[in-house]
Amino acid sequence: MKSFSIKIRLLRVSSLLLGLSLGNISAWADETLTSITSPNQLLNVAVQAAGDGRLSYTVTRRGKTLIAPSRLGFLLTNAPQLDAGFKLEKQSLSEHDDTWEQPWGERHFVRNHYKELRLDVVQKPPFDRHLTIVFRVFDDGIGFRYEFPDQAQLHEVKISDELTEFVVAPAATAWWQQGGEVWALEYPIQKTALSEVGMANTPMTIRTADGTHIAFHEAALIDYPSMWLRKVTGQKLRAHLTPSATGPAVERQAPFNTPWRTLQIADNAAGLYMSDLILNLNEPNKLGDVSWVHPAKYIGVWWEMHLEKSTWGAGPKHGANTANVKRYIDFAAKQGFQGVLVEGWNQGWDGNWVGAEANFSFTKPYPDFDLPGLSAYAKEKGVNLIGHHETGGHIANYEAQMDAGYQLYASLGINSIKSGYVTDGGTAIFPSANGQHHFGYTDSQEGTRHYLKAVQEAARYHIAIDTHEPIKDTGLRRTYPNWLSREGARGMEYNAWGNPINSVEHEANLVFTRMLSGPMDYTPGILSLEGVKGRPINSTVAKQLASFVVIYSPVMMAADLIENYEKFPGAFQFIKDVPTDWADTRVLHGAVGEYATIARKDLHSNDWYVGAITDGKARTLDLALDFLDPDKTYVAEIYRDGKQADYRNAHRHDIIIEKKIVTAKQHLSLQLAPGGGQAIRLKQSGG
Ligand code: NOJ
């Protein structure tokens, strides 16, 4: 203990020499080891040690404590717990500031500016086990991770759970979704007091009384289970690692790092969405030249099955028949869509295709689907077929055929695949070492391995992946830019099926929760505004259009039936015009679950696009056009809710389409109907 306190005193001196502040430590703290501030000095992280050498961290912003002392450490299954008796061996501080280019994304260039504190700690004898804890403090939040150095005392690391805590100091409201439950990532997002959270998935967003917003999540989830947040007591949350079906939650050999535990922190909801912290905590592109990855808009043989007009499986209503697919290819070519998704093309859809009975072939088409002929036909027309690999959650069956499936598509020039893992939480089927199978969570350590393996293998064939029922997004698109998009929340399909359909505030919830993690293949654009048997969905037409801007994905499906696009040509024009790859993004208005306005600049032209959405309330929002080039004029092509538009009544289709000449000095008044929205294309017209 003696050498420990001398070490602390020495560190305090060296901290002062390094220019580190000791921070504003609250009454709960034991012994402050060190602290670090963000580049703009607003955010501070302090690390404390209790008398028994237990480590904790505290986060303050503008002098107010946001995260009270929160424990760090692990429970192991093959060794005593790794949470106490620590002393600090060494600390080092560095600063990093660079700007990197995205191959595709919400903005072309991303600034990565943080201060980093590395703490090398060691446990007292007899354990003598080493651990490194790294904090990166940005202006818009923090990330920290544990690094396990290789050491004889802890080479095989078997973790039953993390002890990492997030003790939120000010009373807060939370927007969250259950973790570890049967529908995996597809629960409605609920709003409760933070103290009422049970077990949450991340990103989970909270708002404190003074309006500060914090989103809890993780970055760079590789070969490690996904983290759920379990409420312990009051506002204390603890990391809970997705269990493994066969042993400890984590089995790794040192050296390795955990994912980053992240807190994005901003003055308001808009600030949260503007944060690039998750991407910045991921490694740069490992694939080199990715010019073969193409952002695109697509249509497909999809909504008709969800509407029960046709079937995935064989029979008289089989959707993926050659004539029907040709119809989609022709429409895509005529209207300028780059892709046509075809689901139900391969054998395995007849009977129960979910779970243990799933027996998909990834190489055998149904006889009424001419795969080579249709891919050639599409190519002639300048359209790409988009492949589909539904696994039914039978990962073992998929892994056995994955390579052959990719090879087949690559040989036909099909360069993107939508994959799917429909199954209940905890019932995905993994291969066991003995050739048998076992059940487990898709977000377990073996699940994270599988999803990344699928993306890495696809990259070898220059194929991009859009995962449905995915592992949650943690920014790995930076490292593997062929991981183009994913689902990972309730998509449009719930509006087809019901039980229940998506709530009217769903999209405004998604923007400030799920979308903080990355792109979502939400499949908007249902201009009919109808699900199965004509059941109305909670939206106006203008809101459907606005979703193309607000819910970001580099691959964006215009999901409605061809006949509905033919029926509503005015609104359809916006869907044809809107791009999916952006030079810049600005969130202009936002309140979680209430409304959002996002402006994005096209990567390939000087045009801007604006999308605004609201929940069930009508709203008027003032849109300052000061993001436009001040020396130019623009034609604003406006798609706005008509006077009578209201998602609750027969006027939900009421839309006004008009043009105005505008400049950067002007403001537009966005009048959003209940459940409504507005979409605007701002076309640069001259100086
Ligand atoms: C669920 C996916 O989200 C949906 O898009 C797909 O059509 C079905 N699974 C079938 O694969």
CA distances from 160 to 123, 287, 395 (A): 19, 33, 24
CA distances from 203 to 109, 149, 200, 395 (A): 24, 29, 9, 25
* Inter-residue contact 82 to 131 (CB < 8 Å): yes
Cα separation, 406 vs 317, in Å, equals: 28
pLDDT of residue 140: 98
Cα separation, 268 vs 156, in Å, equals: 43
Cα separation, 584 vs 80, in Å, equals: 49
Q: Is 112 a member of any domain?
A: yes
* Inter-residue contact 279 to 478 (CB < 8 Å): yes
Query: Which one-letter amino acid corresponds to residue 333?
Result: A
**Mean pLDDT, the chain, integer:** 95
Cβ of 615 less than 6 Å from ligand 1:
no
Cα separation, 489 vs 592, in Å, equals: 16
Q: Is 188 a member of any domain?
A: yes
Counting atoms of ligand 1 from 1, which one is nearest the CA of 305?
A: 7
Does the pLDDT value for residue 29 go beyond 70? no
Residue 16 pLDDT class (50, 70, 90 cuts): very low
Query: Measured in angstroms, how far is the CA atom of residue 261 from the centroid of ligand 1?
Result: 30
| Closest by CA position to 580, among listed 598, 606, 600 | 600
Residues annotated as catalytic are 493
| 328 phi/psi in degrees, rounded to 5 | -65, -40
Residue 499 pLDDT class (50, 70, 90 cuts): confident
CA distances from 304 to 360, 383, 498, 533 (A): 21, 20, 15, 12
Write the pLDDT tens digit of every residue in 45-101: 999 999 999 999 999 999 999 999 999 999 999 999 999 999 999 999 999 999 999
Q: Radius of gyration of the chain from Cα atoms?
A: 26
Share of the chain above pLDDT 70, in %: 96
- Segment 421-449 shows an average pLDDT of 96
Does the pLDDT value for residue 22 go beyond 90? no
pLDDT of residue 320: 98
Write the pLDDT tens digit of every residue in 637-649: 999 999 999 999 9
6 CB contacts (<8 Å, ≥6 apart)? none
Does the pLDDT value for residue 481 go beyond 90? yes
Q: Is 541 a member of any domain?
A: no
CA distances from 121 to 166, 178, 238, 254 (A): 21, 35, 22, 16
* Inter-residue contact 267 to 64 (CB < 8 Å): no
Beta bridge partners of 633: 686
The pair of three-digit structure tokens given for residue 402, joined into one six-digit string: 């994955």
| Closest by CA position to 145, among listed 172, 119, 111 | 119
| Closest by CA position to 327, among listed 572, 565, 570, 524 | 565
* Inter-residue contact 280 to 138 (CB < 8 Å): yes
Query: Measured in angstroms, how far is the CA atom of residue 522 from the centroid of ligand 1?
Result: 11
Counting atoms of ligand 1 from 1, which one is nearest the CA of 469?
A: 3
- Segment 27-44 shows an average pLDDT of 86
| Closest by CA position to 386, among listed 428, 337, 443 | 337
Share of the chain above pLDDT 90, in %: 94
Cβ of 493 less than 6 Å from ligand 1:
yes
- Segment 149-166 shows an average pLDDT of 97
Instruction: Establish whether the linkage from the previous residue to 126 is cis, with ω within 30° of 0.
Output: yes
Does the pLDDT value for residue 212 go beyond 70? yes
Query: Measured in angstroms, how far is the CA atom of residue 388 from the centroid of ligand 1?
Result: 9
Q: Is 257 a member of any domain?
A: yes
Look up the CATH number of the domain holding residue 60: 2.70.98.10
Q: Is 134 a member of any domain?
A: yes
Q: Is 208 a member of any domain?
A: yes
- How many distinct structural domains can be found in the chain? 1
Cβ of 422 less than 6 Å from ligand 1:
yes
Cβ of 304 less than 6 Å from ligand 1:
no
Which structural domain range is residue 147 located in? 19-280
Cβ of 420 less than 6 Å from ligand 1:
yes
Query: Measured in angstroms, how far is the CA atom of residue 468 from the centroid of ligand 1?
Result: 7
Cβ of 162 less than 6 Å from ligand 1:
no
Residue nearest to atom 2 of ligand 1 (CA): 468
Write the pLDDT tens digit of every residue in 648-658: 999 999 999 99
Angle, CA of 305, 308 and 310, to the nearest 5°: 55
Beta bridge partners of 237: 166, 231
Strand, coil or helix: what is 457? Answer: helix
- Segment 171-193 shows an average pLDDT of 97
Does the pLDDT value for residue 19 go beyond 60? no
Write the pLDDT tens digit of every residue in 233-269: 999 999 999 999 999 999 999 999 999 999 999 999 9
Q: b/e map of 383-396 (b: 16 or more CB within 10 Å)?
A: bbbbbbbbbbbbbb
Query: Measured in angstroms, how far is the CA atom of residue 356 from the centroid of ligand 1?
Result: 18
- Segment 364-386 shows an average pLDDT of 98
Q: Is 403 a member of any domain?
A: no
334 CB contacts (<8 Å, ≥6 apart)? none
Residue nearest to atom 3 of ligand 1 (CA): 468
Residue 8 pLDDT class (50, 70, 90 cuts): very low
Residue 30 pLDDT class (50, 70, 90 cuts): confident
| 649 phi/psi in degrees, rounded to 5 | -135, -175
Cα separation, 114 vs 142, in Å, equals: 9
Write the pLDDT tens digit of every residue in 308-367: 999 999 999 999 999 999 999 999 999 999 999 999 999 999 999 999 999 999 999 999
What strand order describes the sheet that includes 296-301? Answer: 483-486, 464-467, 416-420, 384-390, 339-342, 296-301, 555-557
Segment holding 451, helix H or strand E: helix 445-460
Does the pLDDT value for residue 111 go beyond 50? yes
pLDDT of residue 75: 98
Cα separation, 78 vs 306, in Å, equals: 48
Q: b/e map of 426-448 (b: 16 or more CB within 10 Å)?
A: bbbbbbeeeeeebbbbbbbbbbb
Beta strand segments in 177-249, E:
190-193, 199-200, 204-208, 213-219, 227-233, 236-241
Does the pLDDT value for residue 390 go beyond 60? yes
Cβ of 390 less than 6 Å from ligand 1:
yes
CA distances from 503 to 197, 335, 506, 539, 555 (A): 20, 31, 5, 9, 24
Q: Is 178 a member of any domain?
A: yes
pLDDT of residue 11: 33
Angle, CA of 315, 319 and 324, to the nearest 5°: 120
Does the pLDDT value for residue 21 go beyond 90? no
